[in-house]
Amino acid sequence: AQKVTQAQTEISVVEKEDVTLDCVYETRDTTYYLFWYKQPPSGELVFLIRRNSFDEQNEISGRYSWNFQKSTSSFNFTITASQVVDSAVYFCALSAYVNDYKLSFGAGTTVTVRA
């Protein structure tokens, strides 16, 4: 069975602060994919990143960065110098490498960035 845990329900920061979202996963698969999605107040789901379990390199995209650590089954997400537009619900998700029809989502973390 696959399980994704996002222990932080809500995070509130002031603009320009950094914010880190934790994601811990459980899977019996040796190969798998990890994802982050953003859901702004408008409600749509926006794909941010996917990472396969072969590749433990950290990734940076603009103000976003991701830290994948297979040893601790974590895939954390950091927003640097947060902006009001970053206010959203962020979901971490996991899929098997094969039989990958299903995404298992965490419960989500609501990030509020105050001006």
Partner 1 sequence: NAGVTQTPKFQVLKTGQSMTLQCAQDMNHEYMSWYRQDPGMGLRLIHYSVGAGITDQGEVPNGYNVSRSTTEDFPLRLLSAAPSQTSVYFCASRLRGLLGQETQYFGPGTRLLVL
Q: Does 41 bind partner 1 (CB under 8 A)?
A: no
Helix (H) or strand (E) holding 111: strand 109-114
Q: Does 44 bind partner 1 (CB under 8 A)?
A: yes
Q: Does 7 bind partner 1 (CB under 8 A)?
A: no
Listed in sequence order, the residues at least 6 apart from 55 whose beta carbon sits closer than 8 Å to its beta carbon are 68
- DSSP secondary structure string, 75-109? EEEEESS--GGG-EEEEEEEEESSSTT-PEE---E
Q: Does 64 bind partner 1 (CB under 8 A)?
A: no
Cβ atoms of 90 and 37 within 8 Å: the answer is yes
Q: Does 107 bind partner 1 (CB under 8 A)?
A: yes
C-beta closer to partner 1: residue 3 or 63: 3
Q: Name the site residues for partner 1 (rule: CB under 8 A).
A: 4, 6, 9, 33, 43-45, 47, 50, 52, 91, 93, 95, 97, 100-103, 105-108
